[in-house]
Amino acid sequence: MSAHTLSLRTYLGVFATLAVLTAATTLVAYIDLGFFNVVVALTIAVSKALLVVLFFMHLARARHRTQVVAGAGILWLLILITFTVSDVLTRNWIPQPAGW
Amino acid sequence: MPETHAALAHQFEDLTQQHDAATLGMWIFLVTEVMFFGGLFAGYTMYRAEYPAAFAAGSRLCEVALGASNTLILITSSLTMALAVSGAQRGRRRLTLVFLGLTMTLGALFLGVKFLEYFHKFQEHLIPGPNFGYTGLSARQVELFICFYFGLTGLHALHMIIGLGVVTVMIVLTWRGRFSSAHYAPIEVAGLYWHFVDIVWIFLFPLLYLVDLHR
């Protein structure tokens, strides 16, 4: 149980990084990067989520089966979003024949 | 004979196994929560792809300063929660109580800021329904964005309220001396939940507040 005791320095370091990334994502939003605004915003959000999951939630040092469960959650989320988006974004690529 | 502990349920070999089962159970619950919020995020993605201009206009109605402050409040509460769990791990009862109290205070502060934002939305008639007050272009699609805003932040706030209830129970149990460095699984599990709710907000903030600030 004591396997995942992290030091105070680790917690404070993670918190400082999270605060810096929050400032970064807010400031970058004011710069016009076109499509890459959303890419940067999501990359920063995923990085912040990973920091919280790995250190605050101790997943980095958790048992392998716990890591597999957490990974499965992300996998199913990706399946959900990928398949929904691939359907919606590819509609009407081929003109529909009259009468449909 | 293995040592017996008042908190050890009879179906477990020892406290380590019980602790592992508790955290694994919480992770499985969190995966169902990921899918719950995931469906809403998928819906958001669909409609944002369909009406990009309206979602940009809707996003500009959000108060970025309040949203950013709330993000900082929530990640600070995650830090205090992590330190509360760390205190419990080391059997430091008073330290755990202080950090759990700080976590609750920050959580309540988050909800206060959220209430302020909702209040401003009410004042500006930006509530979806027959009296929706937005008069710019594609008002119906902006209304849809505002529906996502209230739906997602409302469900998130509900999770925060439940989190505050969970932390209150943890404070009472810690106060009564129920936990030790050998048995602190409930605090660890409460921490997992709290951090998950923080992660949801980490995604909500850029997706709702930061869509289109650069114009």
- Closest partner residue to B210 (CB to CB) among A15, A26, A89 is A26
A 34-93 residues inside an 8 A Cβ radius of B: 37-38, 41-42, 44-45, 48-49, 52-53, 55-58, 62-63, 65-66, 69-70, 72-74, 76-77, 80-81, 84-85, 88-89
Does residue B4 lie within any of the structural domains? no
Contacts of B112 (CB under 8 A, 6+ apart): none
Report yes or no on B102 lying in a domain. Answer: yes
Element (H, E) at B150: helix B139-175
Residue A11: which of B35, B83, B182 has the nearest Cβ?
B83
What's the domain count of chain B? 1
Domain that holds residue A16: 2-88
pLDDT band of B1, cuts 50, 70, 90: very low
Interface pTM (ipTM) of the complex?
0.92
DSSP class of residue B14 equals S
pLDDT tier at B2, thresholds 50, 70, 90: low
Domain that holds residue B48: 15-209
If you search the block for the tokens 């980095």, which residue do you land on?
A: A60
- B150-206 pLDDT tens trace: 999 999 999 999 999 999 999 999 999 999 999 999 999 999 999 999 999 999 999
Give the CATH number, domain containing residue B22.
1.20.120.80
**Structural domains of chain A, count:** 1
> Distance of alpha carbon B77 from its chain centroid, rounded?
10
The answer to whether position A99 is within a domain reads no
Q: Do A45 and B202 touch (CB under 8 A)?
A: yes
Instruction: Give residue-wise pLDDT tens across range B165-176.
Output: 999 999 999 999
First to last CA, chain B: 70
Please give the pLDDT value at position B167: 98
Pick among A21, A22, A57, A80 to test the B interface (most B CBs inside 10 A): A57
B195 and A81 within 8 Å at the Cβ level: the answer is no
Indicate whether A72 belongs to any domain.
Answer: yes
Query: Any idea what DSSP says for residue A55?
Result: I
- B34/A74 CB distance under 8 A: yes
Is A35 within the bounds of a domain? yes
CA B139, CA B75: separation in Å to the nearest integer?
34
